[in-house]
Amino acid sequence: MSFRIVRLAWMAALLVVAGAQSAAAQTAEAVIAASAKAMGIEGLNSIKMWGSGASFQVGQNNNAEGPWPRTNLNDFNRWIDFTQPATRTSAVTWAVPVTGGAAAQGAFNQFASPANTAWGQHLEIWTTPWGFLKGAQANGATLATETFDGTDYKVLTWSPPQKSPSGEPYKVVGYIGDDNLVHWVETWVEAPILGDLHVGTEFSNYRDLGGLKFPSTIIQSRAGSPTFEVQLLGVQANPADLADRLVAPPPPPAFGPPPGGTPQAASEQLAPGVWRIRGAYNALAVEFSDYVVLFEPGPQNEDRARAIIAETKRVIPGKPIRYGVISHHHFDHTSGLPAVVAEGITIVTPEVNKAFFERAFSAPRTLAPDAIGQSGKQAVIEGFPGDKRVFEDATRRFEIHVIQGLPHADGLVIGYLPKERILVYADMFNLPPADNPVPNPPVFGTQVFLANIERLGLQPERIMSIHSLNPDRLTSVGDIKASLGR
């Protein structure tokens, strides 16, 4: 059984098999020295590693309880300079669009430099086996022992110079076996939705390259599921091309709000008591006799969620926002939910997502207290059974329907106002480009969207996308059919 599985099982049970014990017979310095010698890191100031592997996108899984989705990394290369410190990683990827279609070649890039000391980037340096030992040498590591699955480990713990947003020190913990090799390193970093996010990295199948030991298999997990893995074909100590390679990659294409913060939400009235709260990610505010329902209340981040809430209160004054319906669990659509929880809004989602959000929102938030941590509010999650949830009073009916047949996300829902004939959706249809108005093959997400509209007998006249279309406008069933050649 791998150390990763044993360690994660131990964490889940919150039970140490033999407990953390004082290592009175040894000192941390002696353990570090013995491991550094066994690992062959004397004189190692930088390293290059190469091979093939995979990255996994946190928060974009098909099911909220499932593994993060995988993207293969071909021609994987990573350079690390422990003296600056700095690191650069590059690889070639092939990815399929979320709405379906042909895979497109892309690039995987990670870069961390002394100019950007964020722990979320620099942990990639210090959670390598060589970086962990160098960090332990420089930062006054302490020593304990623990036993997992009948195997004893010497456990070194230290904190980097960086401090978390709350001022709490980060912590790095490494597990060294009787062979004096580093088998596992773990740390914690602040993260939207998940709070204090556990990051664990397992090293196995060590090989010897002229006295320098390197693991041929590395698996990193976050929140208990793999987020990175690589099979190393080789490493090079103190590579000559280091300076040329430690150059920041070009920035990715701009997406979302412009730099400098989220713009103030604007609104557009679609019908009496029905408002589109506009932005890169839209929300729909629906007024009832004594309360308001928000569809997609917490996309992107807490600032965007607060802007949506504030604009909703402005255009529909004097009524509480009682419910917030999320289109699906993906983190780009839910990372602002802590602000929604702090507002006292009940989050509505199909039952398939309920346990995940309850667990996520109850996690510790010591590194960067978000709106949940600051408010002390308990999240209220309504997981509705079946395929439909209806909000209705004497003034209005708002139907929530679960989409069927779309692998993108279990529990993805649409909202429909039958009287106003307005439908709201996410991640199924984008306007095709002018030079390819009828994509061939057809976009799978578009096919599924239309099939569900017809299955449910809906008759929308206007269809609002959570992601603003280009050009920005509402769309129609006619547009959807036209893109399918119908």
The pair of structure tokens assigned to 68 is 């993060």
Instruction: State whether 151 and 287 are in the same domain.
Output: no
pTM confidence score: 0.90
- Residues 390 and 434 reside in one and the same domain: yes
Q: Quickly tell me which residue has 């596992």 as its tokens.
A: 184
pLDDT tens digits along 222-239 = 999 999 999 999 999 999
Parent domain of 14 = 3-245
pLDDT tens per residue across span 400-421? 999 999 999 999 999 999 999 9
Contacts of 457 (CB under 8 A, 6+ apart): none
Q: Note whether residue 260 is domain-resident.
A: no
153 plus 293 within the same structural domain: no
**Tens-place pLDDT, residues 18-40:** 344 444 458 999 999 999 999 99
**How is residue 87 annotated by DSSP?**
E
The torsion angles phi and psi of 5, rounded to 5 degrees, stand at -65, -45
For residue 318, being part of any structural domain is answered with yes
Residue 35 lies in a domain: yes
Scan for tokens 């004397």, then name that residue.
42
Q: Tokens representing 361?
A: 């929102």
Question: Same domain for 241 and 273?
Answer: no
- 276 and 161: one domain? no
Of 53, 30, 33, whose CA–CA distance to 41 is shortest? 33
Residue-level pLDDT, tens digit, the chain, 486 residues = 465 555 555 454 433 333 444 444 589 999 999 999 999 999 999 999 999 999 999 999 999 999 999 999 999 999 999 999 999 999 999 877 766 677 889 999 999 999 989 999 999 999 999 999 999 999 999 999 999 888 999 999 999 999 999 999 999 999 999 999 999 999 999 999 999 999 999 999 999 999 999 999 999 999 999 999 999 999 999 999 999 999 887 766 554 444 445 454 599 999 999 999 999 999 999 999 999 999 999 999 999 999 999 999 999 999 999 999 999 999 999 999 999 999 999 999 999 999 999 999 999 999 999 999 999 999 999 999 999 999 999 999 999 999 999 999 999 999 999 999 999 999 999 999 989 999 988 999 999 999 999 999 999 999 999 999 999 999 999 999 999 999
> In 10 A of CB 392, how many CB atoms?
10
Q: Tens digits of per-residue pLDDT, 190-224?
A: 999 999 999 999 999 999 999 999 999 999 999 99
DSSP string, 33-59: HHHHHHHT-TT--EEEEEEEEEEE-TT
Specify the CATH number for the domain of residue 349: 3.60.15.10
* 263, part of any domain: no
Answer with the one of 188, 212, 245 that is the final residue of a domain: 245
The CB density around residue 66, as the number of other CB atoms within 10 Å, is: 11
What local confidence, expressed as pLDDT, does residue 247 receive? 85
Helix (H, G, I), strand (E, B) or coil at 309: helix
Number of domains the chain contains: 2
Residue 98 lies in a domain: yes
Cβ–Cβ < 8 Å for 324, 345: yes
Q: What is the pLDDT of residues 125-163, one digit of tens each?
A: 999 999 999 999 999 999 999 998 889 999 999 999 999
pLDDT of residue 147: 93
pLDDT of residue 260: 47
CB 225 within 8 A of CB 215: no
275 plus 191 within the same structural domain: no
> Do strands 225-237 and 212-222 pair parallel, antiparallel, or not at all (unpaired)?
antiparallel
Q: Identify whether residues 181 and 66 lie together within a single domain.
A: yes
Triad 6, 12, 14: Cα angle to 5°: 100
CB 379 within 8 A of CB 356: no
On whether residue 454 sits in a domain, the answer given is yes
Q: Are residues 141 and 219 in the same domain?
A: yes
Residues 232 and 86 in one domain: yes
Residue 274 and residue 142 share a domain: no
Last residue in a domain, options 211, 245, 279:
245
Answer yes or no: are the C-beta atoms of 376 and 359 closer than 8 Å. no
Alpha helices (runs of H) in 376-473, residue ranges in sequence order: 444-456
Considering the domain architecture, whether residues 280 and 234 belong to the same structural domain is answered as no
Residue 253, domain member (yes or no): no
Beta strands in 321-384 (DSSP E): 321-325, 346-350, 381-384
Please indicate, yes or no, whether residues 63 and 124 belong to a single structural domain of this protein: yes
pLDDT of amino acid 253: 56
